[in-house]
Amino acid sequence: MKKHLVAPSVLAADFTRLAAEIDMVNQSEADWFHLDVMDGRFVPNITFGMFIIEAIAKMAQKPLDVHLMIVEPEKYIEPIRNAGAHVITVHLEACPHLHRTIQQIKETGALAGVALNPHTPVQLLEDVIEDIDLVCLMSVNPGFGGQKFIYQTLPKIRKLHQMIAAANAKTLIEIDGGVGLQNAETLLQAGADVLVAGSSVFGAKEPLTTISALKAFNAVFV
């Protein structure tokens, strides 16, 4: 059985002790670091860019999964890759030429991801699904950590899972926003492959134990 991945979202880390937080993830059972880049235009918040990604890349011993919540992401794909990204995810809503942008990501050697806002139907990806390494389903409105999981995401996971299977593709389904111990198993059973977890990991009393618990769930496909 395929084992899912866990990607702690560094947005929820304590940036006054970032090195220790990165080290915690390095020592943990987590698979990737999830890094949220926000521009104050696509989303109503600003986080960090290449400079911080590069600093994190120097310490991180696991792949960097970079989620671009920015307009015109095509302008930053090469710099983000050069900063150390292994997975680069752009928003469908920010890409009028999505096919071209996906190819641009792949040409850098990174894995190509496409993120969908909660209101965006998964069917819009039908004609590019075979070209995408990962689909990030936003289960909160992007922009902030610590929000409540939107339950309408569940049927989207199931639909996307079917679409990927029908295309015989290997695309991973990533769920981002409001993910924690309370819903991880349900998400995996619906077909999730990657669980992004911010506040549920970094806000936990024992982040290492929480990561292990998120990894320990099993998906029993029906």
Q: Coil, helix or strand for 69?
A: strand
* In contact, 13 and 68? CB cutoff 8 Å: no
Piece in contact with Zn ion (CB under 5 A), picked from 20-28, 35-43, 44-52, 102-110: 35-43
* In contact, 115 and 90? CB cutoff 8 Å: yes
Piece in contact with ligand DX5 (CB under 6 A), picked from 15-23, 118-126, 139-147, 205-213: 139-147
Looking up tokens 């994190």 gives: 56
Looking up tokens 């409540």 gives: 148
Catalytic residue among 36, 39, 65, 133: 36
- Among the listed residues 185, 219, 200, 220, the one whose alpha carbon sits nearest the alpha carbon of residue 211: 200
Q: CB 70 → ligand DX5: shortest distance, Å?
A: 12
Piece in contact with Zn ion (CB under 5 A), picked from 41-49, 66-74, 155-163, 210-218: 66-74
Closest to ligand DX5 by CB, 113 vs 145, is 145
* In contact, 116 and 141? CB cutoff 8 Å: no
Our finding on whether 11 is near ligand DX5 (CB under 6 A) is yes
Q: CB 196 → Zn ion: shortest distance, Å?
A: 6
Our finding on whether 174 is near Zn ion (CB under 5 A) is no
- Among the listed residues 1, 30, 34, the one whose alpha carbon sits nearest the alpha carbon of residue 134: 34
Our finding on whether 73 is near ligand DX5 (CB under 6 A) is no
Q: Please give the sequence-ordered ranges of beta strands (E in DSSP) within 20-151, or none if there are none.
A: 33-38, 64-69, 87-91, 111-116, 134-138
Residues acting as catalytic residues: 36, 176
Residue numbers at the binding site for ligand DX5 (CB under 6 A): 9, 11-12, 34, 36, 67, 140, 142-143, 145-147, 176-179, 196-200
